[in-house]
Amino acid sequence: HVQLVESGGGSMQAGENLRLSCEFSGYVHAAFCMAWFRQGPGSEREWVAAIDSTGAKRYASSVKGRFTISHDNVNNNLYLQMDNLKPEDTGMFYCAADWGIANCLAGSWSPADFDYWGRGTQVTVS
């Protein structure tokens, strides 16, 4: 059983930077697809970025060039460095994981494709 706990959210001004963390505890498969999702007020949960166990990274067009996803192979923590924040980045940020890299290879970014979720951390940009 694996647990994911996000941290690092906060209230920011446009243009500022913020780093989110997702701590994994329990079993983490050697092959994985890990991702960050955002859910804005009144919106559906949408995919932001993903990284798989080969190190390949993928980004939604809205954050490409501003956000960087990374994974610590030692402690299995997942990170999202968010630079030049914009008001439209506001939302609850969730980390998610699925074992195997199929989702990442196929570009399957539906929340239903990920088995493991954290409870989220709020980011507000004004």
| Displacement of CA 104 from its chain's centroid (Å) | 13
| Residue in the structure block whose two tokens are 């050697």 | 30
In whole angstroms, give the CA distance from residue 123 to residue 40: 10
Does 24 have pLDDT greater than 90?
yes
Q: Could you tell me the two tokens for 124? A: 């507000």
Instruction: Rounding to the nearest 10 degrees, give the CA dihedral for residues 90, 33, 79, 26.
Output: 110
pLDDT in tens, 42-95: 999 999 999 999 999 999 999 999 999 999 988 889 999 999 999 999 999 999
Answer whether 35's CB lies under 8 Å from 61's CB: no
